[in-house]
């Protein structure tokens, strides 16, 4: 018991925590569509993410959207999604982001794989997995979620994996070359409520991934087709980091708490305590019997849902 307890403490000290996050940055890259239909669809998905990020408090100054056609939506598309623009986007974000900030990178488009090298298709020269690796190294002081929703994206997984970093790909290998459906459902997860499994009002990268993967499987089964895409996730700590990454800046505790009534402040503190219990329980999952883990998680999720509802009701009265 003592050994297990110290092991848990050591793991907690090694993991980045939600409390250490300060701000959120977003880079959305829509690559070559190849047709008007795909270009329009990629732009629609990209702007859906931008709308969600803005709604959840991500500052406009921290958002960079690169698209195939800069004139498609000049108010939003910062520049054309060329190789040089992508490099500049990472450099600008690295210069602006503070240590422990959250950085989301979302690639929407087509990919390619020649048996050795995987690339994300851009107007002009493409960028390969090896090209993105040094770009992510510029963000080694931040917590990064890099999501490649293109075909053959599985070949990005291993080259880009690293500490403090979650890599999500729409396919398991570079050989899965068919156009995946993962992007549609992954983006849907953030724009709706269906993926909020722990009912805390926020959708994590892990929740979005699980939601999209399930939806993809269901879509293939409904169409009577053999599943030809298998999404993958690597965060280096067995799903613990991905479950703590959200497309939203950290709530400012001092500002939030100071503006609340004593009764509402107590409810918020109780909710935060339950959230911490859930995260601590997840860390102990591998050392627990499955039935006991499920029982405790269900109780905590129920408590969290009830507490969240109390907060919403109190806010509505206010």
Calculate ∠ Cα 187-190-191, nearest 5°.
90
From residue 285, give the alpha-carbon distance in Å to each of 6, 57, 102, 239, 304. 15, 32, 25, 11, 19
Given a contact cutoff of 8 angstroms between Cβ atoms, the answer to whether 4 and 287 are in contact is: yes
What pLDDT, on a 0 to 100 scale, did the predictor assign at position 243? 87
**Is a pLDDT exceeding 90 seen at residue 84?**
yes
229, part of any domain: yes
**91: number of Cβ within 10 Å:** 12
Of 199, 225, 244, the last residue of a domain is 244
**Is a pLDDT exceeding 70 seen at residue 14?**
no
Range of the domain at 280: 253-317
Mean pLDDT across the chain, nearest whole number? 87
Model pTM above 0.85 = no
Give CA–CA dist 239/248, Å, rounded.
Answer: 19
173, part of any domain: yes
What pLDDT, on a 0 to 100 scale, did the predictor assign at position 175? 95
8, part of any domain: no
> Does 136 share its domain with 282?
no
**Is a pLDDT exceeding 60 seen at residue 61?**
yes
Given a contact cutoff of 8 angstroms between Cβ atoms, the answer to whether 161 and 236 are in contact is: yes
283, part of any domain: yes
Q: Which residue has the higher pLDDT, 285 or 210?
A: 210
Count of structural domains, the chain:
2
91, part of any domain: yes
5, part of any domain: no
> Does 220 share its domain with 274?
no
Task: Quote the crossing angle between the two packed helices 182-191 and 205-223, to the nearest 10°.
Answer: 130
What pLDDT, on a 0 to 100 scale, did the predictor assign at position 251? 57
From residue 69, give the alpha-carbon distance in Å to each of 49, 52, 308. 18, 22, 42
**Is a pLDDT exceeding 80 seen at residue 237?**
no
> Does 30 share its domain with 134?
yes
Q: pLDDT by residue (tens digit) across 176-187? A: 999 999 999 999
From residue 54, give the alpha-carbon distance in Å to each of 42, 48, 166. 19, 10, 22
73, part of any domain: yes
Q: Which residues, including other chains, have CB under 8 Å from residue 195's CB and lie 6 or more apart? A: 188, 189, 203, 207, 208, 210, 211, 212
**Is a pLDDT exceeding 70 seen at residue 276?**
yes
From residue 297, give the alpha-carbon distance in Å to each of 191, 246, 279, 283, 290. 25, 20, 10, 12, 10
**Is a pLDDT exceeding 50 seen at residue 18?**
no
| Residue (of 315, 255, 309, 304) closest to 279 by Cα position | 304
Of 226, 244, 262, the last residue of a domain is 244
**Is a pLDDT exceeding 60 seen at residue 230?**
yes
1, part of any domain: no
> Does 94 share its domain with 195?
yes
> Does 93 share its domain with 129?
yes
> Does 174 share its domain with 309?
no
């Amino acid at each position: 018991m003592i050994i297990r307890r110290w092991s848990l403490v050591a793991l907690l000290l090694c993991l980045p925590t939600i409390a250490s996050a300060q701000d959120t940055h977003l880079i959305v890259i829509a690559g070559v569509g190849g047709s008007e239909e795909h270009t329009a669809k990629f732009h629609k998905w990209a702007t859906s993410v931008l709308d969600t990020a803005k709604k959840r408090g991500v500052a406009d100054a921290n958002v960079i959207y690169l698209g195939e056609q800069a004139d498609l939506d000049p108010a939003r598309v910062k520049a054309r999604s060329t190789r040089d623009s992508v490099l500049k986007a990472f450099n600008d974000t690295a210069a602006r982001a503070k240590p422990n900030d959250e950085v989301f990178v979302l690639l929407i488009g087509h990919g390619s794989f020649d048996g050795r090298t995987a690339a994300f298709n851009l107007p002009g020269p493409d960028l390969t997995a090896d090209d993105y690796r040094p770009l992510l190294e510029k963000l080694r002081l931040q917590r990064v979620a890099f999501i490649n929703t293109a075909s053959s994206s599985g070949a990005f997984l291993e080259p880009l994996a690293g500490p403090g970093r979650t890599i999500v790909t729409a396919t398991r290998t570079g050989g899965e070359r068919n156009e995946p459906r993962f992007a549609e459902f992954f983006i849907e997860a953030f724009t709706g409520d269906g993926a909020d499994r722990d009912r805390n009002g926020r959708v994590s990268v892990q929740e979005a991934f699980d939601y999209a993967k399930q939806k993809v499987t269901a879509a293939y089964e409904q169409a009577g087709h053999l599943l030809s895409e298998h999404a993958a996730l690597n965060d280096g700590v067995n799903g613990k980091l991905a479950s703590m990454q959200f497309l939203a800046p950290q709530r400012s505790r001092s500002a939030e708490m100071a503006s609340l009534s004593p009764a509402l402040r107590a409810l918020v503190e109780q909710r935060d305590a339950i959230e911490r219990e859930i995260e601590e329980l997840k860390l102990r999952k591998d050392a627990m019997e499955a039935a006991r883990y499920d029982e405790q998680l269900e109780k905590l999720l129920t408590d969290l849902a009830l507490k969240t509802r109390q907060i919403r009701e109190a806010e509505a009265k206010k």
